[in-house]
Amino acid sequence: MSAAAFTGPSVVDIDAAKVRGAGSNVHFDKVSVAYGTHVVLHPLTLDIAPGEILAMIGPSGSGKTTALRAVAGFVRPASGRIRIGATDVTDLPPYERGLGMVVQNYALFPHMRVEDNVAFGLRAQGADKALIGERVKDALATVGMATFARRYPRELSGGQQQRVAIARALAVRPRVLLLDEPLSALDAQIRRNMVEEIARLHRSLPGLTILYVTHDQTEALTLADKIAIMRDGRVCSHGPTAELYRRPPNRFTAEFLGRANLLPVTVAEAAGSKGFATATHGDAVLTGAGRGEKAGDKSLLCIRPQHLSLTADNEHTNRIVGTLREVHWQGELTHLVLDVDGTPVRVSATKLPVALPEPGTKVPLFFAPADTSLLPEDAGV
């Protein structure tokens, strides 16, 4: 599907976004959720800044959707408080929290036209008819669906239905937009289009705070200003997206947020003033970005597949040797799997030698110290 791009907001929308941004931060203060004796969200303290997109990702059952539903008011915390702006919303019903929410199954009313679906929340609030008409028109224009106002959901594609669901959430002028796996029901191409369009939407409404729950790492990396990675009801890492990807604080984060090669190493020399430590892997002496390790510490050297090269240059000063096991050509990328002293190492390459080595061949790999990160050896959170 070739989806139409989101259009820019009106002056009214921009002014409203500024007002929202002033009081749209979300604060979890030691929030826990339990069902009977089973704790599904351990005490969570977390801040989402006004206008920020925070993506919560993690395995199934990690607590990410529970945290979102606690903000929405559909789950009652066992302890702790939730604030939106300066307002403690912990005891408020969902409709008084100033939120918009979009879920994965669209939740459109099949017997209502698009314009009536978008107007539903406003009518429930008792808004004036003229205001409803204005808001519906603006919201549909914002998501590029103005010409579909008179259609029924069955006459729309999946991507179009999800844009209508987003328009319905925006029509009530929410302080915070909650997105719970909003694209998981769409096929891959439509999902990519929708990710781009949600990014455009946020650029046009910069004051809108978004809490985005997803299992898709690509969506999180593309959209989020910050990411919180959940595991067993706890946040195991939280920070700016690029920083979390480039310098993951622990093994779980490195492996969950994108592919990572983790070489077991022994620290030979602690990081100096430039932040790089020296470590050994077998006979190889390697340099990597440190985080306070001491000489003799067992550690893991994290290298992303795209940062490994089959050719050396001035920056790729680290060298390891592996045995080529598998080659997978995927058009723009070729994926290689090598065995490096018993550790599988993956390479994602756009450029390869004219004559690719045969499986079983010893192959040198090169990478830059700046593209690495030393992690604790354990898999802790």
| pLDDT, tens digit only, all 381 positions of the chain | 334 444 433 333 434 444 344 488 999 999 999 998 999 999 999 999 999 999 999 999 999 999 999 999 999 999 999 999 999 999 999 988 989 998 877 789 999 999 999 999 899 888 899 999 999 999 898 888 999 999 999 999 888 998 899 899 889 889 899 999 888 877 777 788 888 888 888 888 888 999 999 988 889 999 999 999 999 999 999 999 999 999 999 999 999 998 899 999 999 999 887 899 999 999 999 999 998 899 999 999 999 999 999 888 878 899 999 999 998 888 788 899 999 999 999 999 887 766 778 899 999 999 999 999 999 876 555
CA–CA distance, 39 with 349 (Å, rounded to integer)? 44
| C-alpha 241: how far from chain center | 8
DSSP 8-state class, residue 168: H
- Phi and psi of 380, rounded to 5°? -65, 170
CA angle 285, 326, 324 (to 5 degrees): 35
CB 48 within 8 A of CB 54: yes
CB atoms within 10 A of CB 299: 22
Q: What is the pTM of this model?
A: 0.85
